Structure 1
């Protein structure tokens, strides 16, 4: 029996996870299982495959979940920023970040013939059933996507897929008013309307969508500042009271929100020095036990602890380059 068949049988009776956790990460992991080769095809707006508890555990049980990492590069920016920043209010953190970003000069929009280069690190939960270890899934951390990736946008099946050019221009047109800005971002990244991709609550939709735009590259500093100010107004958003580690081992600020009807929280990670986007995580919010059910037989039991990282990704480097294969 091949891995994809096993995955489908294990997944058959598991509750459908919300759309925020699904594509494109699920596709990347299942491709890796089916082919046994390194997965090279990545989209410009890729997100970690934190398939909620159910699907993340299913993938871990079938594939193994250590997705690799990378050495942490040095960071530029005033070292004193991280030491003096108070992490006791998301509004204080995000408005301070916005103030800093508004002072940064805006670069020119990339040309349509240029490429967006990104290098990423990704890590998922390293535990199998009841703490057992599981094997690795490899990936290619370097990725090049055309700035004007119109052909892929037209052929893509993911409703959240947007080209770098679409995001740059949409972000620059966002209004200053947080409520209007959030409404426009929700329209840009719409919620689901089917059983497989069910609709989200307004606050969860806002946090997911704003995270997608914040992680896009490039986004003008002034536009990112408006995004951060609006993020601070989303109900349920919190800030972790200490710096956390991203998938590359670097310290980061974690803006969090517990997923509706779930035991996990989504985290958007910011650089504590210059407040740029550096990654995201899905983290267990409370202790719970999950039993995997597939077909006629019950599967293994997973005991998950509050604070356990289900999936994490870090953007190590991003740049506009003139050709595919070129690095800054």
Structure 2
């Protein structure tokens, strides 16, 4: 039996492409990669492993539609729409991002009868021995979610907000970074029996928040300034390649006890959200959940175990519309 067949067995019974149904299977794989040391947060963490799940986020689309590409849209080489990059650290990089966003003219909030269109891709590590290792990337179907109608908020739990609710939550976040991060932890708490540090909870919550689409640019600016103050947050000092082949900024933080780090990926052209991924930080054997056979493999530092990217997002007038 090949490795991808075994991977699919981990989420047997989860009908694609419904992300809510796939979430438990993805969480089991993530828990396995983590070595079983982190408790499951089925209601608080699965959205981190869902590219463009009901609500996804970017800033470029605040100027229209976000249609991300691997190349500089202006053909201007290393310079960016946002200006020359500074990847020297979180304060400089995210501070510059916030300055850029604060200079934008915010568009009006979407109307309640409008829809959120998103497109993305998901990649998981194809586990093989030796050097034959790769991430299998699967393009996700386009999705349309009502922005503010009753359907958008029907059967939503307190931690799983509609696009309209998240937009307004973000707008209400305070200017002070410490107060903002406290509000994020309140909105995205840890699950029962799921130990994590305050900093880990904060970065996870910020990951959920910045994926949301759309956000006002000044709200995202406040979020980025606060993100820079989270203990352990770093900026990779060079652009990295995401699962769509694009060069992106990586905002990173080590996930305690998991042999991996979480990376929030941003466009170098306008600091919009591009995706996320988990990257192995040290060689280790992957432990499987109790009762699961197969898939015992050694993971190596640098392996990308799970990645998701968003390649397009826009506010549209009707379900089925595209920008």
TM-score bracket for this pair, using the shorter chain length: 0.7 to 0.9
**Alignment correspondent of 1:54:** 32
Whether 2:89 is the aligned partner of 1:114: answer: no
Determine which of 215, 225, 230 is the counterpart of 1:229.
Answer: 225
Whether 2:300 is the aligned partner of 1:305: answer: yes
Q: Residues of 2 paired with 1:49 and 1:232: CA distance?
A: 28
Deviation at 1:76, TM superposition (A): 3.6
Alignment of 1:75-90 (within 5 A): 75-76=72-73, 79=77, 80-81=79-80, 84-90=84-90
Secondary structure of 2:244 counterpart: coil
**Alignment correspondent of 1:189:** 188
**Alignment correspondent of 1:253:** 249
Alignment of 1:169-318 (within 5 A): 169-192=168-191, 194-195=192-193, 198-292=194-288, 294-295=290-291, 299-318=294-313
1:149·1:163 contact (CA, 8 Å) conserved in 2? no
Rate the CA distance shift 1:47–1:104 in 2: closer, same or farther, 3 A: farther
Residues 188-243 of structure 1 show CA distances to partners (whole Å, capped at 9, x for unaligned) of 22221x23xx1431101110111111111000111000000000000000111111
Q: Residues of 2 paired with 1:191 and 1:112: CA distance?
A: 31
TM-score using structure 2 length: 0.76
Q: Residues of 2 paired with 1:56 and 1:324: CA distance?
A: 38
Whether 2:316 is the aligned partner of 1:321: answer: yes
**Alignment correspondent of 1:161:** 160
Q: Residues of 2 paired with 1:38 and 1:276: CA distance?
A: 28
**Alignment correspondent of 1:95:** 95
Aligned length: 283
Q: Residues of 2 paired with 1:322 and 1:302: CA distance?
A: 47
Residues 89-135 of structure 1 show CA distances to partners (whole Å, capped at 9, x for unaligned) of 11110000100111111011111111000010221112246667799
Q: Residues of 2 paired with 1:253 and 1:138: CA distance?
A: 22
Secondary structure of 1:111 counterpart: coil
Q: Residues of 2 paired with 1:261 and 1:111: CA distance?
A: 44
Residues 8-46 of structure 1 show CA distances to partners (whole Å, capped at 9, x for unaligned) of 9x98xxxxxxxxxxxxxxxxxx3xx426x641x347xx9
Q: Residues of 2 paired with 1:270 and 1:137: CA distance?
A: 19
2:280·2:304 contact (CA, 8 Å) conserved in 1? yes
Rate the CA distance shift 1:275–1:289 in 2: closer, same or farther, 3 A: same
Q: Residues of 2 paired with 1:52 and 1:161: CA distance?
A: 20
Deviation at 1:294, TM superposition (A): 4.6
Residues 142-186 of structure 1 show CA distances to partners (whole Å, capped at 9, x for unaligned) of 1111112644644246x6421100111011111110000001111
Q: Residues of 1 paired with 2:159 and 2:204: CA distance?
A: 10
Secondary structure of 2:306 counterpart: strand
Q: Residues of 2 paired with 1:270 and 1:135: CA distance?
A: 20
Secondary structure of 1:94 counterpart: helix
2:148·2:164 contact (CA, 8 Å) conserved in 1? yes
Gaps of 5+ in 2: 1-5, 37-49, 51-66
Q: Which has the higher contact order (CA 8 A, sep 6+)?
A: 2
TM-score using structure 1 length: 0.75
2:137·2:243 contact (CA, 8 Å) conserved in 1? no
Structure 1 or 2: larger helix share? 1
**Alignment correspondent of 1:18:** none
2:170·2:219 contact (CA, 8 Å) conserved in 1? yes
**Alignment correspondent of 2:61:** none
